[in-house]
Structure 1
Amino acid sequence: MNTDPSGFSQLSGCASDAPLHAKTLSKSPHASCRRWWTFVGAGSLIAVGYMDPGNWATALAGGARYGYELLFVVLSASLMGMLLQWVASRVGVVTGRDLAQLCRDRFSRRTTLGLWVACEIAIIACDVAEVVGSAVALQMLFGISLTAGVLCSAVATFVMLALQSRGRRPLQCAITALILFVGVCFVVELALAHPVWGAALRGFAPPRALLRDAGMLWLAAGILGATVMPHNLYLHSALVKDHAPNRDDVTIGRALKGVNIDTFASLGLAFVVNASLLVVAAAVFHANGHFDVDDLGDAHRLIAPLVGSHWAGIAFATALLACGLNATVTGTLAGQAVMEGFLNLRIAQWARALMTRSLAIGPALLAVGFYGQHGSNALLVSTQVVLSLQLPLAIIPLVRFASDGNLMGRWRVSRAPLVAAWACAGVILGLNAALLWQALP
Structure 2
Amino acid sequence: MSNGYNESLGNVHGSVSTENKTGWKKILAFIGPAYLVSVGYMDPGNWATDIAGGSAFGYKLIWVLFASNLIALLLQSLSARLGIVRGLDLAQASKITYPRFINFCLYLLAQIAIIACDLAEIIGMAIGLNLLFGLPLIWGVSLTITDTLLMLFLMNKGMRKLEGFIVSMIFIVGLSFLVEMFIVTPDVKEVALGFIPQNLSGNALYIAIGIIGATVMPHNLYLHSSLVQTRKINRTEEGLRSAIRFNLFDTVIALNLAFFVNAAILILAASAFFKNGYFHIAEIQDAYKLLEHIFGRTAPVLFAIALIAAGQSSTITGTLAGQIIMEGHINLRIEPWLRRLLTRVLAIVPAVFTIIYSGQDGLGNLLILSQVVLSLQLGFAVIPLIHFTSDRKKMGNFAISAKVKIFAWAAALLIVGLNVKLVYEQIKTWAAASPETAFWMYTLVIPMVIGIALLLLYVLLRPLLFKHADAPAYIPHGIAAEIDNLETVHYHTIGVSIDFSKNDTNAIRHAIMQGGKSATYILMHVVETAGARYYGDQAMDHETQSDVDNLGQYVAALHKLGYKANARIGYGTAASAITDIVNTQRVDFIVMGSHGHKALKDLIFGTTVNKVRHMVNIPVLVVKASK
> What TM-score, normalized to structure 1?
0.91
Query: Aligned-pair distance for 1:218?
Result: 3.0
Specify whether residues 7 and 102 from structure 1 end up closer, same or farther in structure 2 by C-alpha distance, changes over 3 A only.
closer
Deviates more, 1:292-301 or 1:199-208: 199-208
Corresponding residue number in structure 2 for 1:364: 351
Counterpart mapping for 1:172-191 below 5 A: 172-191=163-182
CA contact (8 A) 1:43 1:262 kept: yes
Corresponding residue number in structure 2 for 1:149: 140
Larger strand proportion of the pair: 2
The separation in 2 between residues aligned to 1:161 and 1:260, in whole angstroms, is 29
Counterpart mapping for 1:203-242 below 5 A: 203-208=194-199, 210=200, 212-213=201-202, 215-241=203-229
The separation in 2 between residues aligned to 1:101 and 1:342, in whole angstroms, is 6
The separation in 1 between residues aligned to 2:413 and 2:242, in whole angstroms, is 32
1:271 aligns with 2:272: no
CA contact (8 A) 2:59 2:191 kept: yes
The separation in 1 between residues aligned to 2:63 and 2:372, in whole angstroms, is 18
Amino acid at match of 1:396: I
Amino acid at match of 1:432: N
The separation in 2 between residues aligned to 1:154 and 1:77, in whole angstroms, is 32
Specify whether residues 6 and 362 from structure 1 end up closer, same or farther in structure 2 by C-alpha distance, changes over 3 A only.
farther
Corresponding residue number in structure 2 for 1:335: 322
CA RMSD in angstroms, aligned pairs only: 2.0
Query: Aligned-pair distance for 1:9?
Result: 3.5
Deviates more, 1:57-66 or 1:142-151: 57-66
Deviations 1:200-241 (A, max 9, x none): 222222332x2x31x333322321222111011011101113
Deviations 1:159-218 (A, max 9, x none): 24412212111111111011011111011111111112222222222332x2x31x3333
The separation in 2 between residues aligned to 1:97 and 1:172, in whole angstroms, is 21
Query: Aligned-pair distance for 1:36?
Result: 4.1
Corresponding residue number in structure 1 for 2:64: 73
Q: Which runs of 5+ in 1 are unaligned?
A: none
Specify whether residues 321 and 327 from structure 1 end up closer, same or farther in structure 2 by C-alpha distance, changes over 3 A only.
same
Specify whether residues 72 and 389 from structure 1 end up closer, same or farther in structure 2 by C-alpha distance, changes over 3 A only.
farther
The separation in 1 between residues aligned to 2:8 and 2:155, in whole angstroms, is 8
Query: Aligned-pair distance for 1:13?
Result: 4.0
The separation in 2 between residues aligned to 1:385 and 1:217, in whole angstroms, is 15
Corresponding residue number in structure 2 for 1:400: 387
The separation in 1 between residues aligned to 2:274 and 2:14, in whole angstroms, is 45
The separation in 1 between residues aligned to 2:321 and 2:87, in whole angstroms, is 17
Amino acid at match of 2:278: H
1:162 aligns with 2:153: yes
Corresponding residue number in structure 2 for 1:98: 89
CA contact (8 A) 1:225 1:386 kept: no
1:117 aligns with 2:118: no
The separation in 2 between residues aligned to 1:264 and 1:372, in whole angstroms, is 40
Deviates more, 1:86-95 or 1:62-71: 62-71
Amino acid at match of 1:238: S
Amino acid at match of 1:316: F
Corresponding residue number in structure 2 for 1:38: 29
The separation in 2 between residues aligned to 1:60 and 1:410, in whole angstroms, is 44
The separation in 1 between residues aligned to 2:186 and 2:326, in whole angstroms, is 44
Specify whether residues 421 and 409 from structure 1 end up closer, same or farther in structure 2 by C-alpha distance, changes over 3 A only.
same
The separation in 1 between residues aligned to 2:241 and 2:251, in whole angstroms, is 15
Query: Aligned-pair distance for 1:435?
Result: 2.8
Among residues 284, 290, 296, which one is paired with 1:309 in the alignment?
A: 296
The separation in 2 between residues aligned to 1:425 and 1:312, in whole angstroms, is 38
Amino acid at match of 2:273: F
1:256 aligns with 2:244: yes
Corresponding residue number in structure 2 for 1:298: 286
Counterpart mapping for 1:8-47 below 5 A: 8-14=9-15, 25=20, 30=21, 34-47=25-38
Amino acid at match of 1:93: I
Amino acid at match of 2:170: I
Corresponding residue number in structure 2 for 1:51: 42
CA contact (8 A) 2:184 2:268 kept: yes
CA contact (8 A) 1:74 1:274 kept: yes
Specify whether residues 14 and 32 from structure 1 end up closer, same or farther in structure 2 by C-alpha distance, changes over 3 A only.
farther
CA contact (8 A) 1:135 1:150 kept: yes
Corresponding residue number in structure 2 for 1:322: 309
Q: Secondary structure at the match of 1:288?
A: coil
Alignment: residue pair count: 423
CA contact (8 A) 2:75 2:408 kept: yes
1:418 aligns with 2:405: yes
Q: Secondary structure at the match of 2:41?
A: coil
Higher RCO (Cα < 8 Å, 6 or more apart): 1
Query: Aligned-pair distance for 1:246?
Result: 4.8
Q: Secondary structure at the match of 1:206?
A: coil
Deviations 1:392-429 (A, max 9, x none): 11100000110100111001111222111111001112
CA contact (8 A) 1:221 1:385 kept: no
CA contact (8 A) 2:91 2:222 kept: yes
The separation in 1 between residues aligned to 2:12 and 2:39, in whole angstroms, is 15
Deviations 1:7-29 (A, max 9, x none): 933555427xx5xx65xx4xxxx
Query: Aligned-pair distance for 1:242?
Result: 5.2
Among residues 340, 350, 353, which one is paired with 2:340 in the alignment?
A: 353
The separation in 2 between residues aligned to 1:144 and 1:33, in whole angstroms, is 45
Q: Secondary structure at the match of 1:89?
A: helix
Query: Aligned-pair distance for 1:388?
Result: 2.1
Deviations 1:267-289 (A, max 9, x none): 11000000010010011111112
CA contact (8 A) 2:372 2:422 kept: no
The separation in 2 between residues aligned to 1:369 and 1:198, in whole angstroms, is 45
Amino acid at match of 1:325: Q
The separation in 2 between residues aligned to 1:204 and 1:386, in whole angstroms, is 29
Specify whether residues 68 and 336 from structure 1 end up closer, same or farther in structure 2 by C-alpha distance, changes over 3 A only.
same
Amino acid at match of 2:288: H
Query: Aligned-pair distance for 1:383?
Result: 1.2
Deviations 1:311-344 (A, max 9, x none): 1011000000000110110110000000011011
CA contact (8 A) 1:161 1:171 kept: no
The separation in 2 between residues aligned to 1:116 and 1:400, in whole angstroms, is 18
Larger radius of gyration: 2
Corresponding residue number in structure 1 for 2:490: none
CA contact (8 A) 2:8 2:229 kept: no
Deviates more, 1:101-110 or 1:217-226: 217-226
The separation in 2 between residues aligned to 1:198 and 1:346, in whole angstroms, is 53
> What TM-score, normalized to structure 2?
0.65
